[in-house]
Chain A
Amino acid sequence: MNYPIWEIWTIGGPFFIAVISILHVFVAHFAVGGGLFLVLTEIKARREQSPEMLAFTRRHAKFFMLLTMVFGNVTGVGIWFIIALVHPAATSILIHTFVFGWAIEWVFFVGEIVCLFVYFYTFEKMSSRDHLTVGWLYFVFAWLSLLVINGIVGFMLTPGTWAKSGDFWEGFLNPSFFPSLGFRTFLSLMIAGLFGFLTATRVSAPPVRDVLVRYTARWLYWPILALPVFAYWYLSVIPEGPGRMILGASPEMAPFVRAFLSLMPVLFVGGILMAVRLPFGLRQPLAWVLLFCGLAYMGSFEWIREGARRPFIIQGLMFSTGVLPSQEGEIQQQGMLATARWVREREPGPKNVEVQGKALFNLQCLPCHTVNGLYKDIIPLTKDWTYRGMVSQLTGQGRIKPYMPPFMGTEKEKEVLASFIAHTLHQRPKHEEKPFVFEEQPFDMPSFDPAPDACVLLAWNDLGMHCVSDNDRWFSILPPANTLEAVLIRRGETPEPVVEDVILTYRVESGFASPWKEVDFWEWAQKVYGRRLPEGTGLAGKGLEGEMVYDPKGKVYVAEKVPVVPYRDVNGRKMYNPYPLFTIEAKDRETGKLLARTEVVAPVSTEMGCRNCHGGPWRWNGISGISDETATNILRVHDRNSKTDLLKRAEKGEPLLCQGCHADPALNAQGRGDVLNLSAAMHGWHAVYMSGMEADACALCHPASLGGNTRCGRDIHTRLGISCVTCHGHMEDHSISLNKGENSKPQARSILAALEPQGSVPKEEIRARTPWVNEPDCLSCHEGFEKPVKESSGFNQWTEKGEDLYRMRFDETASLRCIACHGATHALYPAINPVSRDRDTIQPLQYGKMPYPIGSNETCTICHSEPMEDEAHHANMARAFRNVVQAEHQGPHDPGSRGIR
């Protein structure tokens, strides 16, 4: 922010730091432990009066000097160089805070250099007592320099109370100081042993060589025993966030943790092996192998230590981008381009995406990522996201996955950066999705002859829209399964529902009778649902035509889980139609006489908008459905975030039903107890990434988009401009209510922590709900069945039980379902259907010649033989229908464009 960004896209600054630092610390720890090694070996040589051992000590000292003086010293300064180039802001804090720490360390370096030179160059010339003193002094200076740098490096992960006090000693003697010092001290002894092997295995005389190698082995296997103790102590003092990162929250860390844990026993065993008398030819190569194992061990330790700190460069105090958490508010307001110093174009605008997108990328992404580079390459990491997906990723960044900082900047800047990544880096074409154009698919309106004992047949789909995920090869959320219900009312003084001696049948219109040719549900039903189903038969045994069964509880005839799909094939011509018509007929059981006939829409859609963010085309003829590309992208992300192996399983031919793990009342699925229910999981997770939106958030996934191929909101509410949000709440609020219902699970708690409601109900007052059971209720706004007040909202006023849901409820006579006269949710009469205008209002037009609810405008005589005065079914029903003007004159809501994808 304050400094220019060194634009090294391919190598990547952090990688550079890692290479220089790991090589340095490996040699530097040798410089410490090796000092003790030299002194103790010289003592041993003199005590055993072995000139060969003394000669070995001298040779080792020369090797030691050449490696640590040159490579060790220069790479140490090299770390200063590289960190100032890559993280200047953090380096400045460290330098200004710990200048005298480094100055003290420098004094010890002077001591080290002088002592080492003297130790080596006066080897045969100095008295043994003096020589050993010089050796000991070297070791003391070396260990003291380790002590100092240990404090400074540890500060970055555990700044402790320095955050409040700014006190040098509190920052230096921070919480991880002692466990880290212990760990590094014993590690340096072990590394001394590893390097010792290189020279010890080269001693020419076998007996001395054996003694020396076995002696050196002790430097390996004794110190190792102390390492797990200090490592555990170290882990116990680091803050919770980094601790969780190490223990699994970061998928990228896992291999390093595995390496760290597995190399400890490898080195231990290696040490034992070296102590055993191995044939000469094996010892030297084994020494090199162990050395590299040691380097890998040290490297994985340092990687874990640094990686656990993400997204911070100084834990809790400065992000890796050089931005302070306290600056977040200011930057969200004014923008990063306005706040950062080294930026030329400060106003975000469409012409400047290339320049400004790059500037934002350099400021926010480059501190950790590369482009087509060696490490954390942004290209494969973002290649599956569309532009919209990239915007979502930036919205949710750092809010639930802990290892990235939040995006810092205005909404506009977020879009610029997303465009830079999607359109410039990935060369994704920008295209506006045009509104879907429905093919005209006419139908014949059934007739009604109101003879005195005629029957009124009312039918509906239990839901206003049933969605189908149509790529079962990869996974299944919802099968083809529309449930049709019907009630047969015999007209008369007191109309009666007919419940016996009649047969109600259903039959789908032409072109929909062979759904198995369009979706792979039947191919995978055995694997996914555990049932082998004949083609065209649904999960309740019903086909595309058949007989309805009477349900005494719901007091309706039911055809359950009819497997219709929105893909129509008429003589080879494919048409998309999410509103297939079913003909319902009621016949006398004995005589077979037709008592009544009507038609009803079974709304079914495959417009699951996953591809809006997850990429990929539409599966079916470019119109609808989840494609292989979209499906595999979804599984890949799920595997990464939830540590599953869904993609591999599906590739092996074992796709899963989401509800196998995620409970769902809609499918009567119990799920797994340790996993969120499907609605809480889906909405909760995605709400983090889709915050700050209106109903456009809903329409990105659900088939509610006003320009989409379904437009499931067909009724008066949509036409009045009332969106999903008014009843269901904004995405965040919606998800909060669902996750409060799962509050006992840690996943729900972390989602709740990451979300803030957008609506007017404060977070503490949002009530928990179970999906499909606790839903918004009409009467929350339509109090007393009256016109609602303007600010009414259905949010947070949930139905208590399933029976209280609108679609399950009875009228005040307890014999007629609300849905029978008013139509299905989201398609309440009067509804306007996008395929053919009157598809959703067939029965009102058939019986009442008006598109309004059955019996509107006091047309009680549809069912009753005489006009009625009492409001027997519900209050406020005996009057003119209110929304006449809007219904007559308002056309289908202007779809508009769906925006850039």
Chain B
Amino acid sequence: MNPAGLIPSPDPIPVAWGWFHVLLLFTFVVHLLVMNTMLGSGIIALLSHLRGRSETRSDSEDISRTLPYAIAFAVNTGVAPLLFLQVLYGHLFYASSILMGVYWISIVGILILAYYSAYLYDFKYETLAGGRVFLIGLSVLIFLFIAFLFSNNLTLMLEPSRWEIYFERPEGTFLNLMEPTLLPRYLHFVVASVAVGGLFLAWMGHFKKAGDSRRNGLAQTERGLKWFSNATLIQLLVGFWFLLSLPDEVMTRFMGERLPDTLLFMAALTGVVLSLFFGFNSRLVPATLSLFGTVVLMALVRDLVRQAYLDPFFHVSSLRVVPQYSPLAVFLGCLVLGLFVVVWVLRLAAKAGKEGGR
């Protein structure tokens, strides 16, 4: 069966595809950073509990307080790229989602479970003592499973030639397990999360104030940067595994066959090298900036990988445009206004935090 015949026909879009492309990439990077923070800090908190060393106890405690925020914003910032993904790639994404429908819809329920578990971990941190490792453990395991499902869906979406499996398994129980890039891709995201989580921990330490806290803060920053650097080192290895597991025609694009793709990849690798350098040298701000740069560049590489996979089947430029730009304009207006208000509210909160009450 010709796999192209299975690809549903896409609906027209209301503005030129470039707008959606930029919005998708931008909001995806934001989501990636927040999601990495959530997953990574959760993993660090869990591992800290399991290692049981006294000096890392404050790490878990601090993370327990920030984890609910991280989850809230991870979910919220996930909505935007999910929206734009559906606009550009919905016809592919829905098909792959249906193939793994049972797993995909389970995310709703288990995410709520993980989220409430994280709140319990936060609010009952003191009183639960020994029990809290189970709470954070549950949350982290669920997040890891959800991440695995996302990796499944987003890879399956790119492989229409595998969709024939529907005729054997129409109940939505198919996972793309035979995909060679699945495991390295998944691990690449998980390890990246640990790196970003470590960086987050480092910044938490950085913002601890004078006195006793200051010393603990410095130590926490050290620990955070160590998580960051070690994870980034492992990332390098996992990344190469990921690269090598790609189909040849995709991989070679980044290894010299296509100039822009290769240059971009090289730039991203440079970012990794810089991150490692600044990380191991405990230079917090440069390490953070390198990390941001690397994430942005790697997200662009990921987008090029997607395009390469879909090359025989579909390109976003083929989407028909039925133009109406006024809703976009209103959205951008609301975005600017909304951000203004949000920044203003956060400033109020910061002020209240300093002044400590009415």
Residues of A within 8 A of B (CB): 2-8, 16, 20, 66, 69-71, 73-75, 77-78, 80-82, 84-85, 88-89, 91-93, 95-97, 99-104, 106-111, 113-115, 117-118, 121-122, 124-128, 130, 133-134, 137, 166-169, 341-342, 344, 362
The smallest C-beta distance from B234 to any residue of chain A, in angstroms, reads 31
Complex CA distance for A66 and B123, rounded to whole angstroms: 11
Return chain B residues, CB-CB under 8 Å to A100: 14, 327-328, 330-331
Q: Is B95 located at the chain interface by the 8 A CB criterion? A: yes
The smallest C-beta distance from A370 to any residue of chain B, in angstroms, reads 13
**A128 lies within 8 A of B11 (CB):** no
**A80 lies within 8 A of B82 (CB):** yes
- Which of B94, B97, B105, B345 meets A118, CB within 8 Å? B345
Residue of A nearest to B344 (CB): A137
Return chain B residues, CB-CB under 8 Å to A111: 338, 341-342, 345
**A113 lies within 8 A of B166 (CB):** no
The smallest C-beta distance from B74 to any residue of chain A, in angstroms, reads 11
**A109 lies within 8 A of B170 (CB):** no
Give a binary string over B134-163; 1 marks a CB under 8 Å from any A CB, 0 the rest. 000000000000000000000000000001
- Which of A92, A103, A133 meets B94, CB within 8 Å? A92
Instruction: Take A95-B83, A100-B327 as given contacts and tell me if A73 and B98 are in contact as well, using a CB distance cutoff of 8 Å.
Output: no
**B14 lies within 8 A of A168 (CB):** yes
- Among B76, B119, B163, chain A packs the most CB atoms within 10 A around the CB of B76
**B358 lies within 8 A of A127 (CB):** yes
**A73 lies within 8 A of B105 (CB):** no
The smallest C-beta distance from B295 to any residue of chain A, in angstroms, reads 20
Enumerate the 10 nearest inter-chain pairs by beta-carbon distance, A residue then B residue, closest first. A78-B108, A100-B327, A126-B352, A7-B170, A88-B94, A107-B338, A2-B8, A96-B11, A118-B349, A100-B331
The smallest C-beta distance from B356 to any residue of chain A, in angstroms, reads 6
Complex CA distance for A82 and B107, rounded to whole angstroms: 11
- Given A92-B94, A111-B345, A125-B352, 16 extra CB contacts under 8 A: A4-B166, A8-B171, A66-B119, A74-B108, A77-B79, A77-B108, A95-B83, A99-B327, A102-B83, A107-B338, A114-B345, A115-B345, A117-B69, A125-B355, A168-B14, A344-B1
Instruction: Take A100-B331, A103-B331, A111-B341 as given contacts and tell me if A4 and B95 are in contact as well, using a CB distance cutoff of 8 Å.
Output: yes
**A122 lies within 8 A of B352 (CB):** yes
Return chain B residues, CB-CB under 8 Å to A126: 348-349, 352, 357-358
Complex CA distance for A710 and B134, rounded to whole angstroms: 79
The smallest C-beta distance from A12 to any residue of chain B, in angstroms, reads 13
Return chain B residues, CB-CB under 8 Å to A342: 6, 166
Complex CA distance for A24 and B78, rounded to whole angstroms: 18
Return chain B residues, CB-CB under 8 Å to A108: 334, 338
Instruction: Take A96-B87, A99-B83, A122-B353 as given contacts and tell me if A6 and B98 are in contact as well, using a CB distance cutoff of 8 Å.
Output: yes
Complex CA distance for A20 and B106, rounded to whole angstroms: 12
**A84 lies within 8 A of B341 (CB):** no
Complex CA distance for A91 and B170, rounded to whole angstroms: 20
**Sample (23) of A-B pairs whose CB atoms are under 8 Å apart:** A4-B6, A6-B171, A7-B170, A8-B172, A16-B105, A80-B82, A88-B90, A88-B98, A91-B86, A92-B10, A95-B90, A96-B14, A96-B87, A100-B14, A102-B83, A104-B331, A109-B79, A111-B338, A113-B73, A122-B348, A125-B357, A126-B348, A168-B326
The smallest C-beta distance from A584 to any residue of chain B, in angstroms, reads 70
**B72 lies within 8 A of A117 (CB):** yes
**A97 lies within 8 A of B14 (CB):** yes
Q: Is B5 located at the chain interface by the 8 A CB criterion? A: yes
The smallest C-beta distance from A181 to any residue of chain B, in angstroms, reads 18
Return chain A residues, CB-CB under 8 Å to B79: 77, 106, 109
Give a binary string over B1-39; 1 marks a CB under 8 Å from any A CB, 0 the rest. 100011011111110000010010000000000000000
Give a binary string over B49-86; 1 marks a CB under 8 Å from any A CB, 0 the rest. 00000000000000000001100110110111011101
Complex CA distance for A16 and B108, rounded to whole angstroms: 12
- Which of A16, A81, A95, A102 meets B107, CB within 8 Å? A81
Complex CA distance for A886 and B242, rounded to whole angstroms: 87
Complex CA distance for A394 and B358, rounded to whole angstroms: 72
- Which of B8, B87, B355 meets A88, CB within 8 Å? B8
Q: Is B243 located at the chain interface by the 8 A CB criterion? A: no
Complex CA distance for A2 and B91, rounded to whole angstroms: 9
The smallest C-beta distance from B351 to any residue of chain A, in angstroms, reads 8
> Which of B110-118, B213-221, B248-256, B272-280 contacts the other chain?
B110-118
Complex CA distance for A43 and B86, rounded to whole angstroms: 43
Instruction: Take A96-B12, A100-B330, A107-B335 as given contacts and tell me if A341 and B105 are in contact as well, using a CB distance cutoff of 8 Å.
Output: no
Instruction: Take A85-B104, A99-B14 as given contacts and tell me if A106 and B172 are in contact as well, using a CB distance cutoff of 8 Å.
Output: no
The smallest C-beta distance from B107 to any residue of chain A, in angstroms, reads 7
Complex CA distance for A100 and B327, rounded to whole angstroms: 6
**B94 lies within 8 A of A91 (CB):** yes
Instruction: Take A7-B170, A71-B112, A168-B326 as given contacts and tell me if A85 and B97 are in contact as well, using a CB distance cutoff of 8 Å.
Output: yes
Q: Is B101 located at the chain interface by the 8 A CB criterion? A: yes
Residue of B nearest to A99 (CB): B87
- Which of B12, B104, B116, B351 meets A81, CB within 8 Å? B104
- Which of A96, A107, A166 meets B13, CB within 8 Å? A96
**B119 lies within 8 A of A341 (CB):** no
**B324 lies within 8 A of A167 (CB):** yes
Complex CA distance for A167 and B167, rounded to whole angstroms: 39
Return chain A residues, CB-CB under 8 Å to B94: 3, 84-85, 88, 91-92
Instruction: Take A8-B172, A97-B14 as given contacts and tell me if A130 and B352 are in contact as well, using a CB distance cutoff of 8 Å.
Output: yes
**B86 lies within 8 A of A84 (CB):** yes
Q: Is B46 located at the chain interface by the 8 A CB criterion? A: no
